């Protein structure tokens, strides 16, 4: 009876990278490891904010951390992005034809155009 809500999408890589700021973090980390504070500063977010996003990224395995003195260096572990790349790549032949079953659409091209405007 309990109205089921959102599926347990969490802890999923796709979900982790659905957040713009988390993608920013990953991109930034390509340049090398960084302590939380520096990361937060470079991306214009608060330290707690950065820590929370890093936590999500860590839980799905996209980043790793190691201690370095007082700080904690976060580094990229992009292996988890490979499935994403491959999944999207599975549609490669489709984006070359604009969209699937092109022929079928061609018949109604005019209608489709109308809908666009």
Partner DNA sequence: CCATCATATGCCTATATCGGCATGTGTTGT
Partner DNA sequence: ACAACACATGCCGATATAGGCATATGATGG
Which residues lie near a copy of itself (CB under 8 A)?
A: 7, 9, 12, 14-15, 17-21, 23, 26-27, 29-30, 32-33, 64, 66-67, 75-82, 84-85, 87-92, 94-95, 98-101, 104-105, 108, 111-112, 115
CA distance 87 to 60: 17
Radius of gyration of the chain (CA): 20
Q: What string marks each residue from 27 to 56 as x (binds DNA by CB under 7 A) or -?
A: --------xxxx------xxxxxxxxxxxx
List binders of DNA among 56-115 (CB under 7 A): 56, 65, 67, 69-73
Q: How far is CA 1 from each of CA 4, 5, rounded to the nearest angstrom?
A: 8, 11
The partner in contact with residue 10, picked from DNA, a copy of itself, none with C-beta cut-offs of 5 to 8 angstroms by kind, is DNA
DSSP secondary structure letter of residue 86: H
The partner in contact with residue 81, picked from DNA, a copy of itself, none with C-beta cut-offs of 5 to 8 angstroms by kind, is a copy of itself
Residues 6+ apart with CB under 8 A from 15: 9, 60
Determine contact, residues 9/43, Cβ cutoff 8 Å: no
The partner in contact with residue 105, picked from a copy of itself, DNA, none with C-beta cut-offs of 5 to 8 angstroms by kind, is a copy of itself
């Amino acid at each position: 009876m309990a109205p089921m809500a959102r599926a347990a999408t969490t802890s999923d890589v796709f979900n982790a990278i659905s957040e713009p700021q988390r993608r920013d973090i990953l991109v930034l980390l390509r340049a090398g490891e960084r302590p939380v504070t520096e990361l937060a500063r470079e991306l214009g977010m608060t330290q707690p904010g950065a820590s929370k996003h890093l936590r999500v990224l860590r839980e799905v395995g996209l980043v790793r951390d190691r201690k370095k003195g007082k700080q904690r260096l976060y580094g990229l572990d992009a292996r988890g992005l490979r499935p994403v790349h491959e999944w999207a790549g599975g549609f490669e032949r489709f984006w070359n034809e604009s969209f699937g079953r092109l022929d079928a659409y061609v018949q109604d091209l005019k209608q489709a155009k109308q809908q666009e405007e």
